[in-house]
Structures are given as structure tokens and as C-alpha cells.
């Protein structure tokens, strides 16, 4: 009997030690920033950290922020500027690990319209994914820098992304649209000769998107927070070394796309995503600059106060 009790107790302890923590992560749209999360799921990196990860997709950052603050998701992979605003408003928000290295958007227009620079869009309609989204913020910042009032000189409308944004542009419902890399590739590969890039932000260092959590969740789940950071870092390294895995996950994201599209997208993804999970100082400061330009009430916060990447990864 004593041996049975001992064995049972050991089994229970072992079960507790390897019990999985359920983590709900919000994803925004369909783009390259999702790849490390999806690869970490597909390759079992989260499971290796005793995490049971569930994802939920949102059409835009604004909706995801509501779910994040409301507690219906534990973490979110969305633009770091949301974290700055939340901290400015008293909601303690932290970065677990960085994902993107640059601003992810371009401004696409129909070809042959004669547009030259942002100033030529005065009086025009410009599509963004959603109000207060990453694309909306970047557009407004750039318009203001160019001396264009985003509330008076142009009309900014929500068109989503993917096929809905494409339909809005090609039908003439909007004159220009903010497009992330997968959408730009769709225009270029599947509808060649119909559109062109008027403005390209993709070489501007920016903290882009990161896995973000509330401080109270991180404090309550320190092992899970470290596990998420480790799993995503491992997935980011896989992006750099395993093109077949990258193509596999892109195919799942875009099941109806051509092989040419999948191959083109997979080829450029390694240059777009972080190789080490770090949010660069320059990229962080650019994010702060953009947010303070369009939202002067956003208080600047030193990166060391909100970026937990190195701490969680033990480096």
C-alpha cells in the first residue's frame, strides 16, 4: 500500500509539473507578423514550454485592444504603439518579445493616375484597415510630416485588408490604400500592371509588432511569460533557417494563393522579421515619435520600463 501511495503521489506531482497553461493570443489581420506565433504552434515550441496556445484573429488593432484590456485574450501580437497609449492611460502593458523590424506598410494607388508623393492625394480617399490601427497611425504621421491635415485635406476610410481592401481600390471606392507586404505581393503577382506603390515605409526601422501582455498577467504567470518568449524566439530563428516551414505556414494563411505568391512571400519574410526578438532602440524611438505626432497626449516611456524581452529570455 505504501508503495502504491508513493507511486500515485509521484505521478500526481509529475502531472502538475508538466501541466499546460492555457494562453489566448490575439492576432491582427493576416500578415508576416503572425508567422512566428503560427510556426511556434506548428512546430510544438509552445507545447515544449508546457503552454496550450489558442489564437483568435481580429480585423484591426482597435478591436484587439478592447479584447486585450477586457481580458478575453491574455496576450496580443499587435502594434507596439497600442502599448504606449495604454501605458499613457494607466494600463500597465509590456513587450514580451519583438517580431517586426520595420514599418510594415506601403501606400498603393491605381497605375496611371499621375500621383506624385503624398501631396498629390489632397482631396482623395485613402483606405486603412481600421480607425486607430497601425496603418492609420503611420498614414496620419506621414501626412502631417508632409504638411497635409489628415482630418481635413483627405478622407480616411476603413476598408480592412486583403481582398476587401483590394476590391475597394480597384473599384475606385478609394483612391489609395495602405497595404502590408502580403497585400502588395497579391497586387503585383496576381493583378500585374494595375497598381503601383506611391510610398513605401518598409525600410524605416520601427518596433512594429510584438507579443504584448498586461503586467498583471505576466506577474501572475511568470513561467508562461518566459515560455512564450522562448517559443517565439525559437520560431523566429526557424524563419531564418527553414524556408520549407515558412512556406508551409504561409500556405495555411493563404490557401488560395498561387505557388509563385507563396514562394515570393517566403523569400522576403526573413528580412522583415526579427532574428533575435529584440526591439531596436531606433525602432522603439520611431514608434514613440509616430504616436506623439498623432496623439500628443501619449506620454513617452523609456524602453527599459516596458520591454521585458531580454529579462524573460535571461540574457
- As a whole number of angstroms, the distance between CA 147 and CA 19 comes to 56
Q: Tell me the per-residue pLDDT of 6-26, one tens digit each, with 9 for 90 and over.
A: 444 444 444 445 689 999 999
Q: Environment class of residue 24 by beta-carbon count within 10 Å: exposed (0-12), middle (13-18) or buried (19+)?
A: middle
Q: Percent of the chain, pLDDT > 70?
A: 94
- As a whole number of angstroms, the distance between CA 84 and CA 301 comes to 7
CA angle 115, 106, 264 (to 5 degrees): 120
CATH class of the domain whose range is 2-102+206-313: alpha beta
SS3 52: strand
- As a whole number of angstroms, the distance between CA 263 and CA 206 comes to 26
pLDDT averaged over the chain?
A: 91
Give bridge partners of residue 176 from the DSSP assignment: 126
Kindly report which listed range (17-21, 104-108, 241-245) carries the lowest average pLDDT score.
17-21
Please give the sequence-ordered ranges of beta strands (E in DSSP) within the chain, or none if there are none: 21-28, 51-58, 75-79, 93-98, 105-110, 125-128, 155-158, 176-180, 195-200, 209-214
All residues at 6 or more sequence positions from 125 whose CB lies less than 8 Å from its CB, including other chains? 154, 155, 156, 157, 173, 174, 175, 176
Number of helices (H) and strands (E), helices first, in the chain? 15, 10
CB of 195 closer than 8 Å to CB of 216:
no
Q: Tell me the per-residue pLDDT of 53-85, one tens digit each, with 9 for 90 and over.
A: 999 998 777 788 889 999 999 999 988 888 888
Q: Tell me the per-residue pLDDT of 123-180, one tens digit each, with 9 for 90 and over.
A: 999 999 888 888 999 999 999 999 999 999 999 999 988 899 999 999 999 999 999 9
Note the CATH number of domain 105-200: 3.40.190.10
- As a whole number of angstroms, the distance between CA 215 and CA 94 comes to 6
What is the DSSP secondary structure assignment for residue 296, as one 8-state letter?
T
Whether pLDDT at 229 is above 50 = yes
Continuous H helices in 146-296:
162-170, 181-190, 215-220, 222-241, 243-253, 259-272, 281-294
Q: Environment class of residue 5 by beta-carbon count within 10 Å: exposed (0-12), middle (13-18) or buried (19+)?
A: exposed
| Residue ranges of the chain that CATH labels 3.40.190.10 | 2-102+206-313, 105-200
- As a whole number of angstroms, the distance between CA 288 and CA 84 comes to 8
- pTM for this entry: 0.88
Amino acid at each position: 500500500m505504501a508503495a502504491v501511495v508513493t507511486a500515485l503521489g509521484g505521478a500526481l506531482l509529475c502531472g502538475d509539473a508538466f501541466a499546460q497553461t492555457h494562453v489566448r493570443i490575439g492576432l491582427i489581420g493576416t500578415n508576416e507578423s503572425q508567422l512566428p506565433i503560427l510556426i511556434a504552434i506548428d512546430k510544438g515550441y509552445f507545447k515544449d514550454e508546457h503552454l496550450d496556445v489558442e489564437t483568435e484573429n481580429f480585423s484591426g488593432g482597435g478591436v484587439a485592444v478592447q479584447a486585450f484590456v477586457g481580458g478575453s485574450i491574455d496576450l496580443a501580437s499587435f502594434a507596439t504603439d497600442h502599448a504606449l497609449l495604454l501605458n499613457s492611460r494607466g494600463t500597465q502593458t509590456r513587450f514580451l518579445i519583438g517580431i517586426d523590424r520595420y514599418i510594415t506598410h506601403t501606400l498603393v494607388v491605381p497605375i496611371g493616375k499621375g500621383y506624385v508623393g503624398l501631396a498629390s492625394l489632397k482631396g482623395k480617399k485613402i483606405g486603412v484597415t481600421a480607425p486607430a490601427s497601425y496603418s492609420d497611425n503611420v498614414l496620419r504621421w506621414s501626412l502631417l510630416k508632409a504638411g497635409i491635415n489628415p482630418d481635413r485635406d483627405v478622407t480616411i476610410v476603413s476598408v480592412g485588408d486583403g481582398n476587401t481592401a483590394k476590391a475597394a481600390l480597384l473599384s475606385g471606392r478609394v483612391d489609395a490604400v495602405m497595404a502590408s507586404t502580403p497585400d502588395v505581393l497579391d497586387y503585383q503577382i496576381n493583378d500585374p500592371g494595375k497598381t503601383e506603390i506611391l510610398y513605401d515605409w518598409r525600410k524605416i526601422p520601427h518596433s512594429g509588432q510584438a507579443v504584448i501582455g498586461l503586467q498583471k498577467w505576466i506577474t501572475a504567470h511568470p513561467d508562461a511569460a518566459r515560455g512564450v518568449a522562448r517559443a517565439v524566439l525559437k520560431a523566429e530563428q526557424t524563419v531564418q533557417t527553414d524556408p520549407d516551414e515558412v512556406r508551409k505556414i504561409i500556405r495555411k494563411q493563404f490557401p488560395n494563393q498561387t505557388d509563385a505568391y507563396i514562394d515570393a512571400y517566403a523569400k522576403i519574410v526573413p528580412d522583415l522579421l526579427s532574428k533575435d526578438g529584440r526591439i531596436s532602440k531606433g525602432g522603439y524611438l520611431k514608434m514613440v515619435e509616430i504616436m506623439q505626432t498623432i496623439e500628443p497626449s501619449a506620454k513617452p516611456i523609456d524602453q527599459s520600463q516596458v520591454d521585458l524581452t531580454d529579462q524573460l529570455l535571461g540574457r
